[in-house]
């Protein structure tokens, strides 16, 4: 006969495991917050990120419940997860966010510099001459329109005098 009794040492171990799960959930939450701080996203993308967060959180909790507690859901597991999230948010969250935002902003700056270096010759070779042509064509068309308007105005004026 299989016994479903769990001794207090195993319960303490499981409680500790789910506190760690709470830390992981808090860290995962911070990763999504960091992405939102670093990259401006539309509401639709934010909804997708929220759905991904909850799916990943659910999978983590389900995996842990089956792996460490034989699929049994106990009330103390939920309390342990909540304690883990709260302790993480009160202790490590600020530091993690600050470090990762700094790292992401540094990476963004490096990528921007690299793309500027790569695309600068392309810009100089292709876009500047095209811009020059469009600006001059626009000016020429504007001058032509003014001449046409001027001649049509003088023609109307001459007809009125006759």
Nearest to 107 by CA among 34, 53, 50, 162: 34
What confidence score (pLDDT) does residue 119 get?
76
- Whether 14 and 79 have beta carbons less than 8 Å apart is answered as no
What confidence score (pLDDT) does residue 160 get?
63
DSSP state, residue 92: T
Q: Mean pLDDT per segment of 10 residues, for the chain of length 162 residues?
A: 66 94 96 86 90 96 94 92 97 94 90 85 70 78 81 63 60
Cα 89 from Cα 148, distance rounded (Å): 71
pTM of the model: 0.66
- Whether 46 and 32 have beta carbons less than 8 Å apart is answered as no
């Amino acid at each position: 006969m299989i016994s479903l009794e769990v001794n207090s040492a195993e319960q303490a171990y499981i409680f500790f495991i789910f506190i760690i799960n709470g830390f992981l959930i808090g860290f995962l939450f911070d990763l999504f917050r960091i992405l939102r701080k670093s990259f401006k996203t539309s509401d639709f993308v934010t909804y997708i990120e929220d759905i991904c967060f909850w799916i990943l959180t659910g999978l983590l909790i389900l995996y842990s419940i089956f792996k460490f507690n034989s699929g049994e859901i106990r009330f103390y597991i939920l309390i342990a997860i909540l304690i883990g999230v709260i302790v993480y948010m009160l202790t490590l969250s600020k530091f993690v966010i600050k470090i990762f935002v700094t790292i992401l902003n540094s990476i963004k700056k490096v990528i921007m510099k690299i793309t500027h270096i790569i695309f600068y010759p392309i810009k100089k070779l292709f876009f500047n001459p095209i811009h020059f042509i469009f600006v001059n064509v626009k000016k020429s068309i504007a001058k032509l329109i003014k001449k046409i308007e001027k001649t049509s105005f003088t023609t109307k004026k001459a007809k009125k005098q006759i």
